[in-house]
Amino acid sequence: MRPLPLDALRQASAEALAAAFAGPPEEAARWIDAAARYGMVEAQLLLGQILLDGRGMPQDMAAARGWFRVAAEAGSLAARNMLGRCHELGWGGAVDEALALACYCVAAEAGHDWAQYNLAGMLWRGAGTAADRRAALAWYRRAAEQGHAKALNILGRFLEEGWEAPADPVAAAKLYRRAAEGGDFRGQFNLATLLAAAGEVEEALGWFRRAAVGSPARFRNGMAARLAGRPEAAFRALAAELGASPRHGRS
């Protein structure tokens, strides 16, 4: 990748920079790389993501972790959360759940919804700390209050199953709908499942289709297998489209 002269960056207007950052991946990467090296925190975060994904330049997870750290130290909560992901999942270095937890705690306390969601997940699993479902529920609530779709879905499961709070199927259904409308494929699946149980086949089918489009292959295959075992012809037809054999249980 040819480096971008810093003079071009200094002379660019805010509108020109925004357009460059949103351009074709390789050209955008040149601008973002230059801006990151120039000290723009948002560009440092973007460069970390580009290097993590290998989009516009070769993938380099170790360099991605380094840029997330630089941006986090400059005050970016999103970068602090991503640095936590690197520590938690071993992107670009060793797994260190204690460091991941520390990163999430800083960003979550400051109000970052993804960090709140990720912190809740570690507390739920007991990763890097003792398991604490009540604390996990509190953090999921805080993320959900900001409209975080995945947290809304998880909070729905808490209320549907009665985990750490009295079961409330009506409230759970409302949360699943908000998660589904926010684009979370698990929320779409859970909402569709409740609609199917209520006999709302057409609406359920629409949400099952949306879940199938937006989900990874493993989830989609499991969903299709469950639909193949249902009595409704419309659900079995969708399962056949996706390619599945009957399976029972819940995703």
Residues 79/45, Cβ–Cβ less than 8 Å? yes
Model confidence pLDDT, tens digit, residues 90-128: 999 999 999 999 999 999 999 999 999 999 999 999 999
148 compared with 245, residue with greater pLDDT: 148
pLDDT at 218 over 90: yes
**DSSP-assigned letter for residue 56:** S
pLDDT at 10 over 80: no
Which band of pLDDT confidence, cut at 50, 70 and 90, is reported for residue 204?
Answer: very high
Cα 21 to its chain centre, rounded Å, is 22
**DSSP-assigned letter for residue 29:** H
Q: What does the block give as tokens for 87?
A: 């520590």
Largest Cα separation within the chain, whole Å, is: 66
How far is 239 from 212, CA to CA, in rounded Å? 10
Q: What is the pLDDT of residue 21?
A: 84
What three-state secondary structure class fits 164?
A: coil
Model confidence pLDDT, tens digit, residues 32-89: 999 999 999 999 999 999 999 999 999 999 999 999 999 999 999 999 999 999 999 9
Q: What is the pLDDT of residue 16?
A: 80
How far is 23 from 19, CA to CA, in rounded Å? 6
Which band of pLDDT confidence, cut at 50, 70 and 90, is reported for residue 1?
Answer: low
Q: What is the pLDDT of residue 246?
A: 47
Considering the entire predicted model, what is its pTM? 0.88
Q: What does the block give as tokens for 14?
A: 């805010």
pLDDT at 251 over 50: no
Residues 204/210, Cβ–Cβ less than 8 Å? no
For the four alpha carbons of 221, 211, 150 and 100, in that order, the dihedral sign comes to positive
- Give 5-13's long-range contacts (Cβ < 8 A, gap of 24+): 5/34, 6/34, 6/37, 6/38, 8/34, 9/34, 9/35, 9/38, 10/38
Domain boundaries, the chain: 147-251
Residues 47/68, Cβ–Cβ less than 8 Å? no
pLDDT at 244 over 60: no
CATH label, 147-251, candidates 3.30.2400.10, 1.10.10.10, 1.10.620.20, 1.25.40.10: 1.25.40.10
**DSSP per residue over 197-230, as a string?**
HTT-HHHHHHHHHHHHHHS-HHHHHHHHHHHHTS
Q: What is the pLDDT of residue 48?
A: 97
Per DSSP, helices labelled H in 146-184 are: 149-161, 169-181
